[in-house]
Structure formats: C-alpha cells, structure tokens
Structure 1
Amino acid sequence: MAKPSEPYLRDLEFKGFVEGLTYLDKKSQPLCHYFGGIPYALPPIGPFRWQKPRPLPACYRYGTRANPGRFTGCCGVCPQPDWGEAENDKSLWDEDCLQTNIWVPIGDPPRGGWPVLFWIHGGFLQFGSANDDDVRGLLSETACKAIIVSPGYRLNLFGFLASSELREASPDFAANVGFWDQRLALEWTWQNISYFGGDPSNITIGGYSAGSHSTFHQLAFDLGVSDSKSIVRRALMFSNGPGLQPKSFDEAQMQFNELLEKLRIPLDVSPAEKLAKLRTLDPKTLIKASENMKYHQFRATTDGSFVRHGLLNEIDNGSFAHQMKRRGVKLIMGECRDEHFIYGTWRPPKNSFDSLFRRLQADYPLAACEALVEHYYPNQKLPAGCKDWPDAFGRIYADIQIHHLERGMANALVRHGAGDLIYRYRMEWRAKCCDEWYKKEWGVTHGTDMSIWFWGGNGHLSKKEKVLAKKGFVDNLAKFLNGEELDWGTEHPLGVRTLTPKGTIVCEVDKRMEEGLKVWEVLKRVGATGLPLSAKL
C-alpha cells in the first residue's frame, strides 16, 4: 500500500542537494523525512567483488540545487538465498548494495543535533534488507526523536567468503567484507550525519538478530581502535549475542573448496585463476551453488584484522569490560522467550543426530560442534522436551546465538566491574499485529518483539498495546539514545526486566543464568571462546 508523501529537498552544503520524502499521515500532517538508497561507498562489483569497500571520493557530490540527487526509493538488495518456501524477489537483486536509508524526525534538531541510531538489519548474515523496517510511527508518536541510519551491506558468500589460499596469494581479496561494509557505513555516518541534522558525537549502534551479532562485532572493532577513531557511544543487541569465535581460515578453506566443486572450478588451478573465474560468474549461479552445499552458511572468519584472534576471551578475561568502562559505552541486550521456533526454520536438519551435527558444522568450528553435542546429547539421545531433531536444532541454535552466550557475555562484564553499563531484558508477550507474520503456536518467537521496540514497525499496535510498549521499553529506548539515565528497575546488573505473558513488567533474577554459564565454560575449554593453545594444555 502506498505511503502518502511529498518531496523533501535538503541542502547538504558542499556535499550537494538531495531530494527525499516527507511521509504524511491521513490528515496530511508530516510524520518524518526519509532518504532512500544514498550511496556510502563505490560499487563492489566486477573486479571489486570480495574487496574491502571503497570510500566515496572527497569530491563526491549528491546533486545540485537545480538537479538534486533523488533518493526516494531504497537500498539495493544483495543477492541472497530464499528462506524455505518463501522466494525472494530476484528482480530487486543488486550487487551494488552499498547504500543507506536515512529517517529524520520532523522539526528543528536540539542543540548539537539529533541523536543517531545506526541500525543493522538481520537475516542470519545470509539474507534480508535495509528496506524491511518502517519507523514512521516510532519517530512521530513516541519520544524517540533520533535519526535512524540503516545501511545495506554484502551478505552470504558476497560478504563472507573466505579462503586461506586467497588470503595468502591475492592481495586484492579480503575476508569479512560484509563487516567492513558496515564499518565504512558507520564512518560515513560519523562524517556526514551533521548535514542531515544529526550529532556525530552521539551515535548508538544496534540491530536485531544477525544485526545484533553484527553490532557485537562492530562494537568489538570500535573498542580496538584509538580514541580518536572511536565512533560508538552505546549499543543495542536485540536477540543475538557474541556467538562463537568464528572459524579459522583453514576451516573456511574447506567451504571454499566445496564451493569450487559445486561450480566445477578445478581445485588445482592457481588462486588468482580461481578468484578471477568467481568474479565472472553471475549472482544467480553463485547463490544456486551455495544453496546445495554442506557448508552453506557464509559467516565471519577469524582474520586477525576485523575479527581478532581470541576475541571472546577478551570478554572472559576482562579486557572488553575495561575498554567499555573507559569509554562509558552502555549496552541493552536481551531475548524473546521462544526464539527457537524461528531459528528452527532456517535450513533445518533431517530428523537424525548425524544430520543435526552436520548442520551445526555449517556455522561453527568443528571442535565447538563436538563439545556442544557431547554436552547437549550424551549418547546421541534426543533430549526430553524436544519433539524431534529439527526441533532440537532450533533450540540449540537459539541457545548458542542468543540465550547462553549472551548470558556468558553479561556475566563476564559484571565480573569485571562493568555491570553499571548493561541493561538486560526478556520478552514473554507479543502484540496482536504479529499474527500476520508469525504462527500463533510459535508464541513469543524471534522477531515478535520488534513490534514493541519499533512501535508496531510494519504492523499496528492497539491503544492498550501502545501504553504497554511505551511504559515498558520505548520511553527507555528514547532515554538511551539521548544518553540519559534509564528507569530500568533491576536491583542487580544481572537482573532482567521482563515483559510477562500477562503484559506486566517485572524485574527479576535471571533463573536461566546457571545453564548459560555451563555452556560458556564448555565452549571455553575447547577454545571456542578464544583461549590460546597453551591455556588448553
């Protein structure tokens, strides 16, 4: 359905002129301004596929007063696999996806500029788009008056292909380019958001699901740069945690070899020839090949550059907490009660232990997979409470991506004196509008709480639901973005602000912490949280 709007022209000073939209309500009153698909980098296509993103030149202009750059559409959509039986619209695919959408509140900004939320979309790092969120209601009806910047970035094999041989033999190849895209978009925001009325010294990064996982890695990277290059002031990690220490280049090489075999590219040709051939193939061919692979998940690699070696050990030994404390970086993090229902739909295994074990290897290092199945499934028996192995997969996947490692991270931050920087939550209630996208029997599953955080988002909250969302979380979100103290209510930093099934807010002790820490310790012993080899001997 069309969204009522009128053209909106903005002068970006020496950057040029841009035309966006002012969205209107039913009475033609303005809701917010919007710019869609503004480039933040040069196109990563042709010979620049699998290279780090290239900044726009200093002389880049977005348009003139007489002929402004027109940004009334959306970001390019990175080519991506389908989710189950739901086919994505391949006519929208565009490898040139390094653009960002920008939402701006109505009215004059406060002194210094609007606070800024740099929002990273989710999708397992395999699919999704910056165009999926609608924040018109959030910006017009709530106290959340902030510029929201939502960038596109490279996904799946376009964003996270890795190979030890390419790393060693091809200087123009880089791993983790999807994360490098996000970082360049964040730097572009820091350098340019003042032209849109934003405050570059007040940037919160955040995301949902894989966007939350990306937020962790962006936060970790930012904590590792000098103070003069640091951008992040606060972070939102909704329904995802740090995850495991990513695979090594040697493990990534196995995935790379499998991709070459699927594409019938000989393994005995030079790395340069392999890369050149891969750069000539069209996106549909690459995506089709990846969908039929055993190692079909293209995720981060521990490259020692963007993703540091021993990154999660930095959390466990206190260096992460120390740097957060030194810079005063605060964090909201939490979960939904029934995350596993959605997680179990993404490339689920067949109904056997062996199939589940193979499916885990698509995401995680082998040593971690072996430790996990030994802990969860002694004697390879289906646990009580799991109806079958696909159900068991959804539950363990949700535990590792969200429930348990989020608890391990929170506990480590508190142990090392950063408890005053974190705010934890749990959602056990969902709004009626979620019924349009999520099965009722899935309960408060992954994604349902976005109707709270984003004020209905693409749905609509009832008046009663809006009162609950406002009092429970949205008012605190507004304070967080402004750098103000929150009315969170928990008595201990490991306490949880919970939205109960009855629609009430309670602040409670985390009754699930013990099991989370057991899994954290299991993974730490095998080095999955980054312990050096000497510590394991």
Structure 2
Amino acid sequence: MTDDPTVVETRNGPVRGLDDGITKSWRGIRYAAPPVGELRWRAPIPPQPWTDVADATVFGPVAPQPGNPVIRLGPDVVQDEDCLSLNIWSASTVEHGDRRPVMVWLHGGAYVFGSSSQPLYDGRALVSDGDVVLVAVNYRLGALGFLDLSSCSTDQRRFDSNLALRDIILALDWVRDNIEAFGGDPDRVTLFGESAGGSLVTTLLTIPSAGGLFARAIAQSSPATSVYDSARAARVAGMFLEKVGIAAADVAALANLEVDKIVAAGQALFSEVPATSPGTLAFAPTVDRDLLPDYPLETYRAGKSHPVPLIIGTNKDEASLFKWMKSPLMPITPAAIRSMFAEIASEQPELNLPSEAEIGSAYTGMKLKAAGLAVARDIGFRMPTLWLADGHSAVAPVYLYRFDWATPMLRALRVGATHAAELPYVWGNLVVGSKDITFKLGGMKVGKALSARMQNRWIAFAVDGHPQGLPGDPEWLPYESGRRSTLVFDRQDSAVDDLDKELREAWGNDVLNFR
C-alpha cells in the first residue's frame, strides 16, 4: 500500500481521495455494478473488485435526468446510467478506526432530478468539526429508478420493482461493511433526506430488509403518502411503453433503448400524470408486496416501523415553490383539489374523508388562493408528517419540527419558508453560486446563527439520538400524543405544544394513501 492518508482499502478495492488540510473527501466511489444492458431495470448487484488504487477525487456521473433550472447539478456534470456511486467527507483529523457517527444523505428532486454532488450538498461545513463522517448517495432516478416494469416480466426478460430503494439498501450495505475504514461507526448510522429523499427515508423505515442498516433517521419534508400500488404502477408502465413505441410482447428491446428516449418519455409522464390525476406522481415507490410489503403509513399506524429515533418535519410554506415554478406536482387550485379528493374517494371508498367544510374550518379567514396553497401543503406534506409521527412515536422517540424562517428576499418574492428552504441551513452552505439571491436583501447574520443551531441539533442527534441544542436553546421534547411538542425554527426558535391542533381536528386521523 502507500503512506498517503487518503488511500483507503475498501472491501472492493483501494480508493484515493483528497485532503485540503481541513476536510478529507472521497468522491464517486462505486458501490454497485453498472446498471446497464441486462442489468437495466434490475436490482443492483455489488461491483467487481479491483486491485489498483481507484481515483476518488472527482464526482461520478449523475443519474440521467431532464434539465431543471432550479436544481443546480454543478459544473462539468456528466450524466450516465453508470451512476451508482457515493461520496464521503470527514474532517482531516478523522482516522481509520475512529468510529465517528455516520450521516448518510439521500437527495431530493421529485424522484426525477438531483444528485449527491450538487454544490448545495458540499459536505465540508457539516464535517469540519470532526463530529461525524458524511456519506451522500446517488441512486437511479425517473423511469430508470422508479418505473415498475415487473408486470411486463417474461420468461426471457425479468424486471424488478423499487429499483432506487434497492440501490439505497445496497449503498447502506456498503456503508456497514466499509465505513469504519474511513473513521465511521457502522453501528451509529443516521439516514437523512429531504423531499423525495425524505420519502425514501420514511419508506425505508418500513422495509424489512433495511432493518439494522441505520440507527436513526431524519426526514425533511417527506411526501410520505406518495407511494402507490402495483396496479397503478402497471398502468404507468403501459403508458411508458406506449411513449417509447415498444409493444408489451417485445419488452426485451428495452435493454438497448437509448437513454435519451427513456428520459424524454419519463419527462412526459412526469408532467402528464399529475395533470390528469392531481396529487399523484408518475414515479414513486411501489407497494410491491415483495421489498415493500405495505403502504408505509399503514405500517406506522400498526406500530411496525423500525424502532429507531426519528426527526421529522416540514416547512411553513411548502407549496409556494410549486406555484412559483408553475409545477404540476401539487394540486393548488380548488378544482384540482376537488378532483384529487374525488379520485381518492373512488379508489378508497372505505376511507372516512373529511368534507370540504370540515377542511375549510382550518383555513378560515384566508383568501381562496392562499387557502389552496395551504391545503396543498398540508395534504402533500404536513398531514402525512403528523400521521407518521403519531404512529412511529409508539415504537421510538420522534422529534417533530416546522421550519418557519424566510429571508427578506424570500418574503418579498412571496415564497416564504418554502419547500427546500431549510437545506442551506442544514448543510451550512448559505449561498450557492453567484446567482443565488436568497440573502440579497439581508438576513445573513440571522441565517448563520440559525444554521449553527440546526447543524448542532442534527449532529447531536447523529451522536446519541437526542437533538438537544446549544446552551439557551429551547428544549426539544419528543412528540407524544399528549403534548405533541413541535420545535419551530425561526429567527428565534421556540417549542410549541400541539402546534397543529386545528389541522388535526379538521383533517381527522385517516391515512390517505394515493393508491
């Protein structure tokens, strides 16, 4: 071997990273074989071992995806199906065998966009104090990661379900087997993610084969009910085959279909499905009764989720970003909301859905457009989070939060504490690129202080499962059915009992799985 401290021996082979004197990093480490050819739409398998030292100084390719001006993938990005890699950061002082707590990140992006190498997710600020080792995972996206073609399997060509979830489980296997060589503790892994990444976290908490792979979890703005059954997955699969011009009898041809055609067909479905069926997505986890045995919220309600401590929460103005982007993903207009509820009622007649008047009681005094945004926020994010907290708190401590802070610029733009607004504070990367206008009207001093508080709580949770803050910060009590304590992150943080009382009473306790 070598005296280079960035050369680490993994079970697959040695890798060489970077050390800038403050932090070390290893980028683009392969954790799976390339999912191409006959492995396309199949469960991932471990990579072939190597003997020469692999270069881990540059990020690996990102999953093929459409362009999105809101999601900055970073300079010199290469898109390729061979995207199943992960990145690791630690303080320069961390050494082999140190057994520091580990945080494993799952990026968001509506199951279609994003990567672990986005500049926003640069891990240096989070690890520079040496408290944790950080891992960020790439997984397959869009049609390549969430299209369930298992209904099209034949004797000659088999397809697997929930590919992205299987990717993440294999990556967690890799962390368990290798992270100690990077100074991490495989027995203290915290899985955390936001938006689609948050939903993957809340889903993995209910997958039997993920048990024991992480000891704590953090779910930021999880659309926990965006999980669909095999019948709906089969319908989307049929729509996809029609888009790419391949008959069901000729599915073997999918192995050689050009990636650009797959991405284009996926993008078309990404827009069309929520437009025709408000509140639903083309791509999301599937209840396949194999990897994922049941709807996650049903598992939480039954008290059968993995009993690990959980931080979970949402942002005050989740839906405003989707309105600003003119995104079809969330039903915001009264007509779209009514259409969504009509579809839920027809597909799930056993549910005791609240009436329009009952729901409206939680939004009295709001103008129609504002009420539509609030309903979209709550059915998409806040209510599933509360239902999940109620269920999971029976098996493990749950720490509920709401992120309310918005800079003067975000308030002026009327997006407020919108979806993903908390990310810069968690990561400590408050300004990402010269075009970032978040702090153009001020707020940086407050933002830095808020970031320090959030990072301290996230790291404290990773250390011992208790997200307690700095001296003088309010105590963050576990969420229990009596007090229902919530920590509100704002200019000044506060702990509030039963913050969502009116919402809970208006919406009721039924779990809405958009099947």
TM-score w.r.t. the length of structure 1 is: 0.78
Cα gap change, 1:458 to 1:150, in 2 (>3 Å): farther
Contact 1:495–1:509 (8 Å) recurs in 2: yes
- Kindly state the Cα deviation for residue 353 of structure 1 after the two structures are TM-superposed: 5.5
Q: Report the counterpart of residue 62 of structure 2 in structure 1.
A: 77
- The CA distance in 1 between the partners of 2:106 and 2:67, in whole Å, is 20
> Can you give the 5+ residue segments of structure 2 that lack an aligned partner in the other structure?
274-280, 433-438, 470-474
1:325-344 maps to which residues of 2 (within 5 A)?
Answer: 329-344=308-323
Contact 2:485–2:498 (8 Å) recurs in 1: yes
- The CA distance in 2 between the partners of 1:200 and 1:243, in whole Å, is 30
- Kindly state the Cα deviation for residue 386 of structure 1 after the two structures are TM-superposed: 5.8
Equivalent of 2:112, from 115, 126, 132?
126
Equivalent of 2:216, from 231, 234, 240?
234
Contact 1:32–1:106 (8 Å) recurs in 2: yes
- Kindly state the Cα deviation for residue 188 of structure 1 after the two structures are TM-superposed: 0.7
Contact 1:135–1:457 (8 Å) recurs in 2: no
Q: Does 1:193 align with 2:179?
A: yes
Q: Does 1:45 align with 2:26?
A: no
Q: Does 1:401 align with 2:389?
A: no
Equivalent of 1:508, from 467, 490, 496?
496
Contact 1:251–1:365 (8 Å) recurs in 2: no
- The CA distance in 1 between the partners of 2:125 and 2:72, in whole Å, is 29
- Kindly state the Cα deviation for residue 369 of structure 1 after the two structures are TM-superposed: 11
1:186-225 maps to which residues of 2 (within 5 A)?
Answer: 186-221=172-207, 224-225=208-209
Letter in 1 for 2:206: A
Q: Does 1:278 align with 2:257?
A: no
- The CA distance in 2 between the partners of 1:386 and 1:258, in whole Å, is 38
Q: Does 1:18 align with 2:50?
A: no
Q: Give 3-state SS (helix, strand or coil) of 2:175's partner.
A: helix
Equivalent of 2:489, from 480, 499, 508?
499
Q: Report the counterpart of residue 533 of structure 1 in structure 2.
A: none
Contact 2:25–2:87 (8 Å) recurs in 1: yes
- The CA distance in 2 between the partners of 1:439 and 1:475, in whole Å, is 29
Contact 2:102–2:190 (8 Å) recurs in 1: yes
Q: Report the counterpart of residue 435 of structure 2 in structure 1.
A: none
TM-score w.r.t. the length of structure 2 is: 0.81
Contact 2:331–2:376 (8 Å) recurs in 1: no
- The CA distance in 1 between the partners of 2:256 and 2:112, in whole Å, is 21
Percent identity between matched residues is 23
Q: Report the counterpart of residue 392 of structure 2 in structure 1.
A: 413
Q: Report the counterpart of residue 35 of structure 1 in structure 2.
A: 26
Q: Give 3-state SS (helix, strand or coil) of 2:25's partner.
A: strand
- The CA distance in 1 between the partners of 2:180 and 2:195, in whole Å, is 29
Equivalent of 1:116, from 102, 109, 120?
102
Q: Does 1:424 align with 2:400?
A: yes
- The CA distance in 2 between the partners of 1:175 and 1:361, in whole Å, is 28
As a proportion of its length, which structure holds more helix? Answer: 1
CA offsets per residue over residues 97-119 of structure 1, 9 Å max, x none? 10111112120349751211111
Contact 2:228–2:514 (8 Å) recurs in 1: no
- Kindly state the Cα deviation for residue 517 of structure 1 after the two structures are TM-superposed: 6.1
1:255-294 maps to which residues of 2 (within 5 A)?
Answer: 255-266=236-247, 269-270=248-249, 273=250, 275-293=251-269, 294=272
Q: Give 3-state SS (helix, strand or coil) of 1:92's partner.
A: coil
Question: How large is the RMSD of aligned CA atoms in angstroms?
Answer: 3.7
Contact 2:467–2:476 (8 Å) recurs in 1: no
- The CA distance in 1 between the partners of 2:266 and 2:353, in whole Å, is 25
- The CA distance in 2 between the partners of 1:298 and 1:440, in whole Å, is 30
Q: Report the counterpart of residue 367 of structure 1 in structure 2.
A: 347
- Kindly state the Cα deviation for residue 485 of structure 1 after the two structures are TM-superposed: 3.6
- The CA distance in 1 between the partners of 2:174 and 2:315, in whole Å, is 32
- Kindly state the Cα deviation for residue 56 of structure 1 after the two structures are TM-superposed: 2.0
Letter in 2 for 1:343: F
Contact 1:312–1:529 (8 Å) recurs in 2: no
- Kindly state the Cα deviation for residue 463 of structure 1 after the two structures are TM-superposed: 5.3
Cα gap change, 1:517 to 1:167, in 2 (>3 Å): farther
Q: Report the counterpart of residue 46 of structure 2 in structure 1.
A: 55
> Can you give the 5+ residue segments of structure 1 that lack an aligned partner in the other structure?
1-6, 24-29, 531-537
- Kindly state the Cα deviation for residue 385 of structure 1 after the two structures are TM-superposed: 3.8
- Kindly state the Cα deviation for residue 443 of structure 1 after the two structures are TM-superposed: 1.1
- Kindly state the Cα deviation for residue 238 of structure 1 after the two structures are TM-superposed: 1.1
- The CA distance in 2 between the partners of 1:54 and 1:167, in whole Å, is 19
- The CA distance in 1 between the partners of 2:330 and 2:459, in whole Å, is 41
Q: Does 1:318 align with 2:303?
A: yes
Q: Report the counterpart of residue 483 of structure 1 in structure 2.
A: 464
Contact 1:343–1:394 (8 Å) recurs in 2: no
CA offsets per residue over residues 177-223 of structure 1, 9 Å max, x none? 011001101111111111212111111111111111111122222xx
Letter in 1 for 2:416: G
- Kindly state the Cα deviation for residue 317 of structure 1 after the two structures are TM-superposed: 2.5
Q: Does 1:454 align with 2:427?
A: yes
- The CA distance in 1 between the partners of 2:42 and 2:200, in whole Å, is 19
